[in-house]
């Protein structure tokens, strides 16, 4: 089997080929590592690669196959981990000079479960410093470039993971999502990104740059089935995360092909307040029509709540500021991006009253969303208001001729971190100059299976995984 064929294999197919002895773990890991050596200098998706330990694990995995031992669902499959998530014995920097040489002594729960399922950790993917930006660049490792057009951004904060997956540098990337950090780069990189319901995949041992009540683990993959399989591995109760759901390990793969006929689906092009690039609207509106052909009852409708950006920023910035203060000696300035410090100055002026008021506004926002999702099974929106933009800025401040805030280019994602609802970004089209566009699928709380099923139905109707960036 040729290296490129291996590197483009979905995780489900790769795991099956390994179980059937058609592909060895050493062949799989070796092919991925060779591709990383070739492609990563162009896109900078990985900030740390652990080739020696990955190959050693692959040899052990191969021995287990040949010995007829019981194999986990991801046995021998290479997986990448975002550099905010702790990995035992592997440097984890958070993209910051503050933790440049930090090597955790324990694994995050998701990493622990991936290893138990037989997955092989091959490295850490790049992220903005403590995940605070919607683009992937940091003072330690620089910028991650979009594999489709290397002069453009990948989005963030799981930009390294999305760039790696679409480039064939591993079929599964584990990311985190506080305001859109799995879905933003998935839209920009033409990957599938899934943010599960809050608490579905337990969180612990990651840089707590933002409020823990917003933080999610989730997969970035090329196919919906790969994400469903990954969720079966990393989801389920673990009391080390006091906020996780009490449910046992879910099963998603078996229901992916059940169809979505009869579901009531709302389509909102702007959530009632966003300004959207015309080419994004063109691609997403075409994708929405596909849901009608799949038997859904599709209506144009928007939830009532206005943009949450002001009080959301208060909560997140205060959490990040607290984290930095806890990890910096009194009187010293944290050695972080100066722009971050400017951003955090606003939070230092916030009173306890203002912070608590922001949390009250959050719960009021969640309650205001509930009636909408009593009527509709799913909500469709553009994932982002714009296609990828050029490296060198933090995002457009003018969209379709209208001035917008810094929040203006990602107005559709943080809502579902706030409410804790499951949300996915599916590739749905391209701009005239060949840049990817994503469609967001949002479900009711805890109905992760419905979101995955809807994404799988759309994928079957409008496949995307057979398209690859020209990096060879």
Please report, for residues 70, 96, 438, 440, the alpha-carbon distance to residue 307 in angstroms, rounded to integers and kept in the order given.
50, 30, 20, 17
Q: Which residues pair with 430 in a beta bridge?
A: 436
Angle between helices 51-66 and 11-19 (to 10 degrees): 50
Residue 136 near residue 156, CB atoms below 8 Å? yes
Token readout for 153 is: 């951004």
Token readout for 467 is: 């398209």
For residue 47, how far is the Cα from the chain centroid?
A: 17
Q: In which order are the strands placed within the sheet that holds 46-49?
A: 46-49, 120-125, 78-82, 172-177, 216-221, 192-195, 423-430, 436-443, 378-382, 264-267, 297-300
Q: What is the Cα–Cα distance from 252 to 296, expressed in whole angstroms?
A: 21
* R_g of the chain computed on alpha carbons: 21
Point out the residues that are catalytic: 82, 157, 181
For 231, residues 6+ apart whose C-beta sits below 8 A from its C-beta are 194, 196, 200, 201, 218, 219, 250, 252, 448, 452
Strands 142-143 and 137-138: antiparallel
Between the two ends of the chain, the Cα-to-Cα distance in Å is 17
CA angle 255, 437, 270 (to 5 degrees): 90
Question: Helix-strand-coil percent breakdown of the chain, rounded to 5?
Answer: 40, 15, 45
CB atoms within 10 A of CB 295: 12
Q: What is the Cα–Cα distance from 389 to 402, expressed in whole angstroms?
A: 17
Residue 121 near residue 156, CB atoms below 8 Å? no
Q: Which residues pair with 391 in a beta bridge?
A: 393
């Amino acid at each position: 089997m040729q290296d490129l064929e291996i590197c483009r294999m979905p995780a489900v197919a790769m795991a099956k080929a390994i179980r059937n002895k058609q592909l060895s773990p050493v062949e799989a890991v070796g092919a991925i590592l060779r591709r990383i050596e070739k492609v990563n200098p162009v896109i900078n998706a990985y900030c740390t690669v652990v080739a020696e330990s990955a190959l050693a694990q692959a040899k052990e995995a191969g021995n287990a196959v040949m010995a007829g031992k019981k194999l986990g669902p991801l046995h021998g499959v290479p997986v990448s981990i975002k550099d905010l998530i702790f990995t035992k014995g592997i440097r984890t920097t958070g993209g910051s000079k503050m933790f440049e040489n930090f090597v955790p002594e324990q694994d995050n729960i998701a990493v622990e479960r991936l290893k138990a399922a037989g997955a092989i950790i091959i490295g850490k993917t790049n992220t903005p410093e403590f995940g605070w930006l919607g683009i992937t660049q940091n003072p330690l490792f620089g910028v991650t470039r979009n594999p489709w057009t290397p002069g453009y951004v990948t989005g963030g904060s799981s930009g390294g993971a999305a760039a790696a997956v679409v480039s064939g540098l591993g079929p599964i990337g584990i990311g985190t999502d506080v305001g859109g950090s799995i879905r933003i780069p998935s839209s920009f990189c033409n990957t599938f990104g899934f943010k599960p319901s809050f608490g579905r995949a337990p969180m612990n041992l990651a840089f707590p740059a933002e409020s823990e009540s917003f933080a999610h683990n989730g997969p970035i993959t090329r196919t919906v089935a790969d994400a469903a399989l990954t969720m079966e591995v990393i989801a389920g109760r673990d009391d080390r995360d006091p906020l996780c759901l009490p449910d046992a390990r879910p099963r998603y793969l078996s229901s992916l092909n059940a169809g979505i006929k009869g579901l009531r689906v709302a389509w909102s092009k702007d959530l009632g307040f966003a300004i959207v690039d015309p080419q994004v609207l063109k691609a997403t509106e075409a994708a929405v029509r596909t849901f009608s052909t799949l038997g859904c009852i599709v209506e144009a409708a928007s939830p009532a709540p206005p943009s949450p950006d002001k009080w959301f920023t208060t909560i997140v910035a205060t959490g990040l500021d607290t984290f930095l203060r806890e990890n910096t000696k009194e009187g010293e300035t944290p050695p972080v991006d100066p722009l971050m410090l400017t951003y955090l100055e606003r939070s230092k002026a916030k009173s306890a009253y203002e912070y608590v008021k922001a949390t009250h506004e959050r719960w009021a926002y969640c309650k205001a969303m509930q009636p909408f999702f009593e009527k509709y099974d799913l909500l469709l929106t553009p994932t982002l208001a714009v296609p990828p933009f050029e490296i060198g800025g933090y995002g457009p401040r003018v969209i379709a001729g209208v001035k917008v805030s810094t929040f203006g280019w990602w107005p559709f994602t943080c809502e579902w971190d706030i409410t804790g609802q499951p949300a996915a970004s599916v590739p749905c089209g391209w701009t005239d100059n060949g840049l990817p566009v994503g469609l967001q699928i949002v479900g009711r709380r805890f109905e992760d299976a419905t979101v995955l099923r809807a994404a799988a139905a759309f994928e079957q109707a409008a496949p995307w995984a057979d398209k690859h960036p020209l990096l060879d």
